[in-house]
Structure 1
Amino acid sequence: MTASTVAGQGDGTLADRAYRSISDRLVTLRIRPGEPINDERIATELGFGRTPVREALKRLEHERLIVAYPRRGTFATEVQIADLGHISEVREQLEPLAAGLAARRAGRADRGDLERLLVRLAKVSGGGTELIRLDMAVHRAIYAATRNPYLEDTLIRYDNLATRIWCLFLDRLPGLAGHVHEHGPLLRAVIDGDAEKAATLAAGHVEGFEAAIRGVI
């Protein structure tokens, strides 16, 4: 199972579900950068045993969302703004690739999921966290539609890291709603099978994200 099941909290093994829950807290900064991670406390809060939580934490360490130090413990990684350029270099290449592949490969069920996200985009009126989760849901639906699990998992990892940076500056980014609503034309291009347009829109979205962050740092 890939991490694309983030939207379906009831899907997968206990370790998958623990991973999604903890990842969401880390990415949206409910677990703050540098905060210690106590597997027993998290297991109690989430209602999981310690074994699935430990499995989830191993995965999150591999994805650079947490870091473990011998004799010191485990902590949420710090958000390094210096990493923005490195993350963007990867996403600038892979996000357009994913959008184009999704436009070519999306099946009926995928297109149905994307249509439902378009409806959510039109209706969303919430604040930062709701918009961020919707943004993440759009990205994951497109990644899943590529039918390439390696590309999907790679992009989820980098989208998580980018979203943490975004959340760090959330109160200083007044254009959040507009940034998320940019996904409307992208979703439509994927649904319509227009691979070239989808790729172009995805590239512009990544470039706009980096420019917005650099504008406030």
Structure 2
Amino acid sequence: MQHVATEPRGEELSLAERAYRAIRDRLVMLEIRPGAPINEDQLAQSLGVGRTPVREALKRLQYERLITTYPRRGTFATDVNITDLAHISEVRQELEPLAAAQAARRATAADRAVLAGALRELGSVDSHRHGADELMRLDLQVHRAIYAATHNPYLEDTLVRHDNLATRIWCLFIDRLSDMAGHVEEHGPLLEAIVAGDPEKAAQLARDHVEGFERAIRAAI
């Protein structure tokens, strides 16, 4: 898994935080399939941690709607429900442009270096060489770097959660989406606008990107 450069490295994170991020990204990338049972012991073993950090991580993931617990049945990865797309898009159409504009205004020199690095990585995207999984991880990396550059933890948390849910929908329909590399490469002009400190242009490009995502998914259904 690629790390977003703005996130602390492994040794700086608590066990619960490491468990949370690892399980979160398995759920987001559908490595744990929608509807699959969640086994605490297996997760703890595969991550090399105890059950307590896993249990703490699962509490957060339930709040983020990535897992669901049913009385007397157990805990499962949340189903991906296409009817959620309109609700998720409604939130993202308002908040993604805000985040892009605020990142353009507030990004520090360190943030701009991270965003420029992501821009270089986007420039080397080759849909023949990069698999769908790699493109999805790059997409997540770019989004999370933009949200971090807003320096608004409430906005960042909200958008990370909604981007995770949107990514699960995308992963579900990935085989039917024709131009996935093109969708990821759209981030290039957006990153350029943020690095250049142009909030109006960044906001418009972010809005276009969210609308394009929803159209692509609806066309694939």
Q: 2:214 aligns with which of 185, 198, 210?
A: 210
**C-alpha separation in 1, matches of 2:10 and 2:139:** 17
Structure 2 contact 6–114 (Cα < 8 Å) conserved = no
**C-alpha separation in 1, matches of 2:113 and 2:6:** 16
Structure 1 contact 5–11 (Cα < 8 Å) conserved = no
Instruction: Tell me which residue corresponds to 2:173.
Output: 169
Say whether residues 1:128 and 2:132 are aligned partners.
yes
- Structure 1 window deviating more from structure 2 (185-194 vs 5-14): it is 5-14
- Structure 1 window deviating more from structure 2 (183-192 vs 122-131): it is 122-131
Instruction: Tell me which residue corresponds to 2:54.
Output: 53
Structure 1 residue runs of 5 or longer lacking an equivalent are none
Structure 1 contact 7–137 (Cα < 8 Å) conserved = no
Instruction: Tell me which residue corresponds to 1:184.
Output: 188
Structure 2 residue runs of 5 or longer lacking an equivalent are none
**C-alpha separation in 1, matches of 2:17 and 2:181:** 30
**SS of 2:76's equivalent?**
strand
Query: Which letter maps to 1:38?
Result: N
Query: Which letter maps to 2:169?
Result: I
**C-alpha separation in 2, matches of 1:106 and 1:178:** 26
Query: Which letter maps to 2:142?
Result: V
Q: Pairwise mapping of residues 36-51 of structure 1 onto structure 2 (< 5 A)?
A: 36-51=37-52
**SS of 2:31's equivalent?**
coil
- Please report how far the alpha carbon of residue 52 of structure 1 lies from its aligned counterpart in structure 2 after TM superposition: 0.5
User: Could you list the per-position Cα deviations for residues 95-119 of structure 1 after superposition, in whole angstroms to 9, with x for gaps in the alignment?
Assistant: 0000000000000000000010011
**SS of 1:42's equivalent?**
helix
Q: Pairwise mapping of residues 22-171 of structure 1 onto structure 2 (< 5 A)?
A: 22-125=23-126, 126-171=130-175
Structure 1 contact 4–152 (Cα < 8 Å) conserved = no
User: Could you list the per-position Cα deviations for residues 37-96 of structure 1 after superposition, in whole angstroms to 9, with x for gaps in the alignment?
Assistant: 001110000111111110000000000000011111100000000000000000000000
Structure 1 contact 100–199 (Cα < 8 Å) conserved = yes
**SS of 1:124's equivalent?**
coil
**C-alpha separation in 2, matches of 1:36 and 1:4:** 32
Structure 2 contact 6–148 (Cα < 8 Å) conserved = no
How many residue pairs get aligned? The number is 215
Structure 1 contact 64–77 (Cα < 8 Å) conserved = yes
Query: Which letter maps to 1:145?
Result: A
Relative to the length of structure 2, the TM-score reads: 0.94
TM-aligned CA distance change 1:11 to 1:5, over 3 Å: farther
**C-alpha separation in 2, matches of 1:4 and 1:36:** 32
**C-alpha separation in 2, matches of 1:201 and 1:138:** 14
Query: Which letter maps to 1:139?
Result: H
- Percent identity between matched residues is 67
- Please report how far the alpha carbon of residue 4 of structure 1 lies from its aligned counterpart in structure 2 after TM superposition: 9.4
- Please report how far the alpha carbon of residue 27 of structure 1 lies from its aligned counterpart in structure 2 after TM superposition: 0.5
- Please report how far the alpha carbon of residue 124 of structure 1 lies from its aligned counterpart in structure 2 after TM superposition: 2.8
**SS of 1:215's equivalent?**
helix
Structure 1 contact 11–17 (Cα < 8 Å) conserved = no
